[in-house]
Structure 1
């Protein structure tokens, strides 16, 4: 019985430590939005892309299945660097909410050239290091929307 109490105490301590370090997953709704943010906007293995990069990634990430998404930004930073933006000062989002945060990151902006049709969409790439604004939610706060 004493061994079981020690094991439960240790388990509780580990859980509280993970919670304190911010390693516990966000709630289901936030987790779904966080996963969508990762799928649409995060590609840490690249430093910047060209037109072929955009054409391939937009298709791979399923943003050209039914229509050509007009504009998308891929962030080329480690997810922990992106998540750290959520701890900066709150600023106003385009929708008026105050849950946005800004940071400077390496990105590739992909803009639809306008004359292609889904699923074979064609994009013009622009790689740069620039200021981005992301919306964050939860405790711990995680990115859930690319604002600008």
Structure 2
């Protein structure tokens, strides 16, 4: 219990520090949304309920059950460094995506899940992701794949 409280405080401090260093260029709203929906550097919950807790905590089950989401378990500086990788084509055809190898947890809604009782199955892995980046310097604004 004490470890969970410590980790929760550490997450809160991390998110607050990210607020302080957010870029004032590019698309700050989209950057903040990316952080909220996809970044969990210390994987604050280590159990089968990880996705259920995180999807609710990050407000992705407020109006409906989001079908799929990926949480990246890297610090924001490692994630931002992906924006320096060569560009690749995004799913929408734009050329502002970049790829990098990271630790992730994919959260997939279970077939029996119904709003407001959204339920998710976690799948942890290390894989290559693609993120869209905008701004100068570029910051992540969209999780592409």
- Report if TM-score (shorter chain) is over 0.5: yes
Moved over 6 A (4+): none
SS in 2 for 1:51: coil
Q: Is residue 137 of structure 1 aligned with residue 134 of structure 2?
A: yes
Corresponding residue for 2:23? 25
1:85 counterpart = 2:95: no
The DSSP-based 3-state class of the residue aligned with 1:66 is coil
Given that residues 22 and 28 in structure 2 are in contact (C-alpha distance below 8 angstroms), is that contact kept between their aligned partners in structure 1?
no
Could you list the runs of 5+ residues in structure 1 that have no partner in the other structure? 1-22
Counterpart for residue 16 of structure 1: none
Q: TM-score, normalised by structure 2?
A: 0.81
In structure 1, what is the equivalent of residue 18 of structure 2? Answer: none
Q: Which residue of 1 aligns with 2:114?
A: 117
Question: Paired residue for 1:104?
Answer: 101
Partner SS state of residue 111, structure 1? strand
Structure 1 residues 65-119: Cα deviation after superposition (integer angstroms, max 9, x where no partner):
1111000000000000000000000000000000000000000000000222223
Distance 1:24 1:49, change over 3 A: closer
State the shift of 1:26 in Å: 3.7
Residue correspondences, number: 125
Q: Which of the two has higher C-alpha Rg? A: 1
Partner SS state of residue 49, structure 2: helix
- Alpha-carbon RMSD: 1.7
Which shows bigger deviation, 72-81 or 115-124?
Answer: 115-124
